Amino acid sequence: MSSNNTPATGSNAIAASNGSSSPPNERARADDENKFGAKRQAMATLSHLGLELGNSVVYDKERAVRGTLRNGDTQVNLSTNIFGLKTVACDIYLYHLEFVKVFTTGKYAGKSYPFIDPERKAPDFTAFQNRQDHGKLLKAFLNKYPNVFGNDHDTFCYDYAATLYSIAELVYFDTSMFLTEQETNEAIETNEAIGRPYKVTLTVKKPQDNVFNVRDLTRDQSLDLSQQPLHIIRFLELVTSRHAAAHPEEHVMYESKKTYYMRPENYGFNLLQLGGGKYLAAGASKTVACVEGPKNKGAAAVIIDSKKTAFFHAMNLLEMLCATVNVKPTVVINMDQFRDCVQVVKRLEVFPTYGNRQNTPILLSGLTEGDSLTTMMGSNGEEICIAEYFFRRYGITLKYPHWPLAIGAKKVQGNKPSFPVELLTVADYQRVGSGNITSTDIATIVKSCAVLPAIKNREINSCYQSFSFGVDAFMHKAGMSVLGEPLKIPARVLKAPQVKYANGSIYPEQNGKWRLPKQAKYAITATLKRWLAVFLIVPQERMKFGEFEQFAQKFYYECGNRGLRIDEPYGLRQVVCDEHAIEELFETARKEQCEYILFGHSDRDTKHHCMERKYEVISQCVRTKTIYNVMTKSPLSLENIVAKANVKLGGLNYNIVVDDFPFDENVLFIGLGMNHPAGGIGNPHEDPPAHANSVSQDSSEES
């Protein structure tokens, strides 16, 4: 690392976490230009493809044939996760809030900036704190200016950003309002020693159309989704989260549709450890939609589902990195472990455990290749290492100076600051991205989410209770309530369709799994004459070329077992994984009239993804991790790879045969999805015996 590295200390640390903001009018113009430019680019792309922008339309279910019990079907009663939302005709007034911080001293004296820059996407911890700070500021203004807001604060519903809803119309909203430096610090509990002195002003703006009636949601029903009153739906989603959002000691919320529980045991959930400094947090998702109820078509309803999401523990950063790569802190990590650690710290927020800025979050961007002993910096006219600097400046002797340094995301005096990882603590409330979810984590998440309907039903009821709809004063004043019992409907369990292969048909097993018989041949098999197997070489790759050759041979034999008319590969090659070498490979393959390339590649590589389309040579990428599974413990993975290859090459793996099903000839079915829990559907004597969700589960890292 270069000698001009800057450790985070003194005024540098605050500069690393707080960026300057452009004036509001300039930002507004830039925002409009960005939106217009993005829309214009999207429309140009559609036009180039010969497509026009259409409206999303809900299918008119009155035209569908339904409700007929057919041979093999089973009639059941379903309990949904849909709770009716009762409303009355009530006018709601909408106002926009603009909080501005005005500096009174220092080099920024007289300058003003938005309290929170709306253009900057904040990481999780900062996003959560921004919501809390907005809420605290508004509360301070409500208390200071009763002549504007009145004395009953339960007439307001706030989105913790820039929108305020009110049951009563504001008359004196154009009053000049501000909080002094002391009032600001008291309101948001800032430490003047680490912050810049500023006061905060509040401007309340009245939009041109600032009033709507809650009942407008259901008065004009349309199958055209573009015609739905989305502003009312957004308001109802906010209102039904109002009580939860006001209790951050129980709920962590980044938006009005999701909450995560600080004390999950209070709602019947357990905290599951994932390893590597991660845990699986429980929470709830909630949306508002118009549904077909037993009495009303298009009635408003609240849809609730339990949610499981991976979070980072609030812990020492070095301990987290050691847990991630499974080493002790005394170990010198290798290059693969270094990359895994870099993946963890990217966009991670931490706090320093030294100095006078221990309450200032720092956003990280990576790790240095050097350590505290080899990374130099200038201090009082001499070059010293980072370890020596911390000893002189803070009297701290680093225990593990051989570890890489964490790099701050924001530059200070032209350089990104560096921090010893042993002196950093991970901030709370941070979700784990997909890049840090391991296969073991996925298995734990799937097991936790794929539960019996009876358990899912209990989870949803617990989530319903967590929102405390019945105690919110604003909902009472607006005449809103959420029904305590979910919508229950009669339904059918359809007879399982046949899965038809070229040499016979099978029914799904009793547990709903469709297993591919060993002797099954694909319905339509592809022909492949000229193809390559290519292994992409990356530094520190653990797989050897000979192992990849064995995998390619297994792939060839499995293709033959499933009926593909395939010749042996005309080449087994190794290629360095860089863009030039891969492009050269595709150029050569096209000249050789190659029809298909089977790649074995590192989990870290993405360089070859665009080449198939550019050179019109079909390719299929198999990660080395998957190849290891095929060769050691998971032959089913090979079946999946071959099944995908057959479809890529123009084949068809199987047909779905549905007996005696009343298809509407006016309906085009573009897909068939089935959702079933693991291990059966619970006690068949319970009433209702099954449970239906209105929304599907999220991706593996957030379910």
* Higher local confidence (pLDDT), 667 or 337: 337
| Residue range 690-701: mean pLDDT, rounded | 39
**C-alpha to C-alpha distance for 342 and 436, rounded to whole angstroms:** 10
Query: Which top CATH class is 499-656?
Result: alpha beta
Q: Which amino acid is residue 281, in one-letter code? A: A
Q: Are 112 and 512 in contact (CB under 8 A)?
A: no
**CA 126/CA 428 separation, integer angstroms:** 10
| pLDDT higher than threshold 50 for residue 268 | yes
Q: Is residue 610 over pLDDT 90?
A: no
Q: Residue 241 carries which DSSP code?
A: T
Q: Is the pLDDT of residue 30 over 60?
A: no
- 661 falls in which pLDDT band (50, 70, 90)? low
Q: What are 375-403's pLDDT values in tens digits?
A: 998 888 899 999 999 999 999 999 999 99
Handedness of CA 66, 68, 71, 74 (dihedral sign): positive
Query: Of all residues in the chain, what percent carry a pLDDT higher than 70?
Result: 82
Q: What DSSP designation does 267 have?
A: G
Give residue limits of the domains in the chain: 6-19+315-427, 91-212, 499-656
DSSP state of 366: E
Predicted confidence at residue 36, as pLDDT, reads 53
User: Which one-letter amino acid corresponds to residue 95?
Assistant: Y
pLDDT category of residue 698 using cuts at 50, 70 and 90: very low
| Token code pair at residue 403 | 């570890």
- DSSP β-bridge partners for residue 281: 309
Q: Helix 635-648 and helix 545-561: axis angle, to 10°?
A: 70
CA distance 257 to 244: 11
Provide the residue type at 446 as one letter. Answer: V
Cβ contacts of residue 97 below 8 Å, gap of 6+?
Answer: 138, 162, 163, 164, 202, 203, 204, 205
pLDDT band of residue 192 (cuts 50, 70, 90) is very low
A 10 A CB-CB count for 600 gives 23
- Per-residue pLDDT of 448-481, as tens digits, reads 998 898 999 999 999 999 999 999 999 999 999 9
The CA distance from 24 to 162, in Å, is: 13
First-last CA distance in the chain: 41
Average pLDDT over residues 421-439: 93
Kindly report the average pLDDT of the chain as a whole number. 84
pTM above 0.75, yes or no: no
Instruction: State whether the Cα torsion 195-196-202-208 is positive or negative.
Output: negative
| 362 or 1, greater pLDDT | 362
| pLDDT tens, position by position, 614-626 | 888 999 999 888 8
Give 96-114 pLDDT, tens digit per residue: 999 999 998 888 888 999 9
Does residue 10 carry a pLDDT above 70?
A: no
Class level of CATH domain 6-19+315-427: mainly beta
Q: Tell me the one-letter amino acid at 631.
A: M
Please give the pLDDT value at position 663: 65
* 35 vs 310, more confident: 310
